[in-house]
Chain A
Amino acid sequence: MDGSIVLFADAGANSALVSFMVYTFLVLLIAVFAGRLLSEKGFLGEYFLGSRGLGMWAFAMTFAATSASGGSFMGFPSLIYTYGWVLAFWIGSYMIFPLVTMAVLGKRLNQIARKTGAITVPDVISDRFDSPKLGALTTLLIVVFMSAFLIGQFKAGSLILQTLLQDVPVYQATVAGFGNWIGWLPLVGVQPPGYVLCLIVFAVAVIAYTSYGGFHAVVWTDVMQGIVMCVGVVLMFILALWQVGGLSAAAEKLEKMTPPVIHQAYVEAEEPVDEEFTIPFGTWIEQPGEESQLRRVFRVAQAAAIAAGQRQARPTQGGDVEGLIEVLEITTPEEIAGIDVPPLKVPVRLRIAETEKYAYGDGQPGVYMRGPGPSKDSAAGFLPLGLAISFFLFWPMIGLGQPGNIVRLMAFNHARTFARATVTVCIYYSAIYIPLVIIFVIARIFLPGMEIESDRIMPEMAVHLTRQAGMSWLAGIVVAAAFAAVMSTVDSFLLLISSAVVRDVYQRHVNPDAPEKSLRRLTYIVTTVVGVAAVIGALNPPQYLQYIIVSAAGGMGVVLLIPIALGLYWERFNALGATAAMLGGLVVYSALWVTGFVTYGSFKPYLLFHCDPIIPALVVSLLLGIGATYLAPPTRQAVIDKLFYK
């Protein structure tokens, strides 16, 4: 076959590459325009806050896109696929999320930021409580939490890009060459070359446009990313509903579905093989069933190979425990009937050694249509009542305290803009989250056995739907939504950290009289250095990184929510109260994570009263904040007069 034909054989895969390139080009173009704007206005206010001039669309889209991180487009679909309709309940508080996270603090925060000239979150804290020390503490906490976040998001960005491009022939060839090239490097050389390459490509694009264009570049790219995400979801929604024959048809199939069973098995050929035979990850294997079963269908969840002269396969991925290989067995008869298993070059048989059934939902038809949803580990199911209550509270409370959201609330231009933007975000979230649930519940029907790599369900489903529709080129637009989601979150985190360093550390505490020219130079340098440092961190990510990210998100909410909310609305609230609220919440939150680690021996929080740690932490933060306030005099009267009275 001609090389060029191979190159363009799979339009679905190649469209991911093309869409990524077009998309990155557009993002960089936007940054160039934003960078030009910078020279005409006051630098720091413009670079970090867009001179508080965001209009309706820019404000709405930057808020929505920053909140919807990579998790919304990779992790959330994976959960829907794995646990079913109960995810609509899990995400239920998004029904009022935009109103709570925007309108509870928005107008007042924006007003105080205007009155004090604040352009960062520590600015607001420092000025409201008349306490540079508290501002410095806020800066420290933001830098620590956000750095953990940023490393994790860079890692996620690289993994998503890798996932999207892995079937593209040009990419595969490049990775092979790149692997030889970096193999000798310490630290870097031990990582998979695909990961390193995608990390560098992703990071260079994000760091370049964020450093050069600042907040405007971030906001405008957010607008584009927000539109891409919405278009991607709507396209998938229409195609999924059309191809499945309507939701009622999907419900009938889901009603019969039972969770898969996981086996540890020996995979054996009938005779020793002449040359090495590889069994890639995801290979389907079928064999005759017993008694009433027509056949049994399995999917290999661990790549393996049979060495020349041998009969038994050994895993080539993950650990090798006596040659056992993890396989997933499909258990729903209707699904089994529909799976077409291509014959293997070397026929193999499975000899099952151990079987692990779902702790909740095993053998229960319709478990994907009911609460609490199936669970591999928990006999109480995926979402028992206590966790359901906890999640309902969790999303809006976390959203309210995120510095990325808070800083955006300081950036809109008028109250009317704010009101309209809140409505826009409400509609936008409704158009994204409910369709996402429907699309990936349907994905269970189209793509069985994806539990082995459920994080890939988004691109797989995009490619499947568009290919079925005869429009493979559309897959690129759909999968672009996923990296749009990660990029739009990473860029704002990058800016948050660099603003904390330049504005809150350097300008406030090191050199208050720094001329604009040196601030400008320093800002470019710091944004770039922070980005590069995060890439270095992501090249060799610490163990438990994913858990650190999850806990960092909660930690940020716990640290900022009560001090900001009480600070805006309660004039008696003072620096001592805010410090107690901040540290008290942080201590309780950290203690519950540490207790969980000690109790369970793994990195997960201790669920006091079945609640996520942020709930008790916020309660303690509130009580300590109120109590400690009365132990110290109010904030200086001149400040209170300025901020609370006409």
Chain B
Amino acid sequence: MSHAKPNAQKQLDPVLVHARREAIIIMAAFVVCMAWSVPWCYMHGYGLPADEPVQTVFGVPSWIFYGVIIPWILANIFSIWFCMFYMALDPLGEDQPDGDSVACDAKPGHDDGGVA
């Protein structure tokens, strides 16, 4: 069986490689969203002078417009690009009855009720 070989000589599953890279990019994008939204909203929306009206853009408070709505739109554009043009569409494999899986081989009596 393949487990006789050291891991270094084996090839990592491409779904794992792609999905791990994508997960890191998504978490980075999340950090960017947070780094934009939280400081912007705090600096422009908190502690505003009570005697001046809040500035608005299309009727939305400008701190919400630039701190939430604009990054929301950009995050959507990024999400669409990421899913449609960047994400690797690897085959995910055939579904196996779990009785056949290596993970379950060592457990006598572990059977399946018929996953197709």
A-to-B contact residues, CB < 8 Å: 41-46, 49, 51-52, 85-86, 88-89, 92-96, 98-100, 103-105, 107-108, 110-111, 114-119, 123, 127-128, 130, 132, 246-251, 255, 364-366, 369-372, 385, 388-389, 392-393, 396, 414-416, 419-420, 422-423, 426-427, 430, 434, 438, 503, 507-508, 512-514, 516, 519, 568-569, 571, 636-646
Q: Mark B22-48, 1 if CB is under 8 A from A, else 0.
A: 110011011001100110011001101
Using Cβ atoms and an 8 Å threshold, which residues of chain B touch A116?
A: 96, 98, 101, 103-104
A/B interface sample: 10 pairs, CB < 8 A: A42-B116, A108-B19, A111-B92, A117-B104, A423-B80, A423-B84, A512-B109, A512-B111, A569-B23, A642-B103
**Minimum C-beta distance from A108 to chain B (A):** 4
Known: A116-B98, A369-B61. A46 touches B105 (CB 8 A): no
Using Cβ atoms and an 8 Å threshold, which residues of chain A touch B72?
A: 92, 94-95, 430, 434
In the complex, the answer to whether B79 meets A107 with C-beta atoms within 8 Å is no
**Minimum C-beta distance from A494 to chain B (A):** 19
Using Cβ atoms and an 8 Å threshold, which residues of chain B touch A639?
A: 102-103
Q: How far is the CA of A553 from the CA of B78 in the complex (A)?
A: 29
Chain B residues 37-91 with CB under 8 Å of chain A are: 37-38, 41-42, 45-46, 48, 50, 53-54, 56, 58-61, 63-64, 67-69, 71-72, 75-76, 78-80, 82-84, 87-91
Known: A110-B92, A568-B19, A641-B2. 15 other contacts (CB 8 A): A45-B113, A45-B115, A96-B79, A99-B29, A103-B26, A103-B87, A364-B50, A370-B61, A388-B41, A414-B92, A419-B89, A420-B83, A438-B60, A569-B19, A636-B106
**Minimum C-beta distance from B55 to chain A (A):** 10
Count contacts on B: residues with CB < 8 A to the other chain: 81
Known: A108-B15, A116-B98. A96 touches B30 (CB 8 A): yes
Most A Cβ at <10 Å: residue of B54, B61, B82, B94? B61
Most A Cβ at <10 Å: residue of B76, B91, B93, B102? B102
Q: How far is the CA of A209 from the CA of B18 in the complex (A)?
A: 39
Q: How far is the CA of A450 from the CA of B93 in the complex (A)?
A: 54
Q: How far is the CA of A247 from the CA of B64 in the complex (A)?
A: 13
In the complex, the answer to whether A96 meets B75 with C-beta atoms within 8 Å is yes
Using Cβ atoms and an 8 Å threshold, which residues of chain B touch A249?
A: 59
In the complex, the answer to whether A41 meets B116 with C-beta atoms within 8 Å is yes
In the complex, the answer to whether A248 meets B56 with C-beta atoms within 8 Å is yes
Using Cβ atoms and an 8 Å threshold, which residues of chain A touch B14?
A: 646
In the complex, the answer to whether A426 meets B76 with C-beta atoms within 8 Å is yes
In the complex, the answer to whether B111 meets A513 with C-beta atoms within 8 Å is yes
Most B Cβ at <10 Å: residue of A41, A95, A569? A95
Cβ-closest chain B residue relative to A249: B59
**Minimum C-beta distance from B63 to chain A (A):** 7
Most A Cβ at <10 Å: residue of B7, B54, B59, B109? B59
One of B13, B18, B56, B78 near A644 (C-beta < 8 A): B13
Q: How far is the CA of A81 from the CA of B37 in the complex (A)?
A: 22
Q: How far is the CA of A519 from the CA of B10 in the complex (A)?
A: 40
Most B Cβ at <10 Å: residue of A85, A115, A127, A247? A115
In the complex, the answer to whether B109 meets A92 with C-beta atoms within 8 Å is no
**Minimum C-beta distance from B10 to chain A (A):** 4
Known: A95-B75, A366-B53. A251 touches B61 (CB 8 A): yes
Cβ-closest chain B residue relative to A130: B103
**Minimum C-beta distance from A50 to chain B (A):** 10
Known: A95-B37, A123-B98. A415 touches B92 (CB 8 A): yes
Known: A100-B26, A415-B87. A512 touches B110 (CB 8 A): yes
Known: A111-B92, A114-B96, A130-B103. A44 touches B58 (CB 8 A): no
**Minimum C-beta distance from B87 to chain A (A):** 5
In the complex, the answer to whether A118 meets B98 with C-beta atoms within 8 Å is yes
Most A Cβ at <10 Å: residue of B63, B103, B105? B103
One of A88, A111, A371, A389 near B46 (C-beta < 8 A): A371
Using Cβ atoms and an 8 Å threshold, which residues of chain A touch B103?
A: 115-116, 127-128, 130, 639, 642-643
**Minimum C-beta distance from B28 to chain A (A):** 11
Q: How far is the CA of A125 from the CA of B86 in the complex (A)?
A: 29
Q: How far is the CA of A96 from the CA of B75 in the complex (A)?
A: 6
Q: How far is the CA of A503 from the CA of B63 in the complex (A)?
A: 50
In the complex, the answer to whether A92 meets B102 with C-beta atoms within 8 Å is no
Most B Cβ at <10 Å: residue of A46, A108, A568, A644? A108
In the complex, the answer to whether B76 meets A88 with C-beta atoms within 8 Å is no
Using Cβ atoms and an 8 Å threshold, which residues of chain A touch B71?
A: 95
10 closest cross-chain pairs (CB), A and B: A247-B59, A117-B98, A45-B115, A42-B114, A637-B3, A127-B103, A95-B72, A642-B102, A248-B59, A108-B19
In the complex, the answer to whether A95 meets B33 with C-beta atoms within 8 Å is yes
One of A41, A99, A371 near B45 (C-beta < 8 A): A371
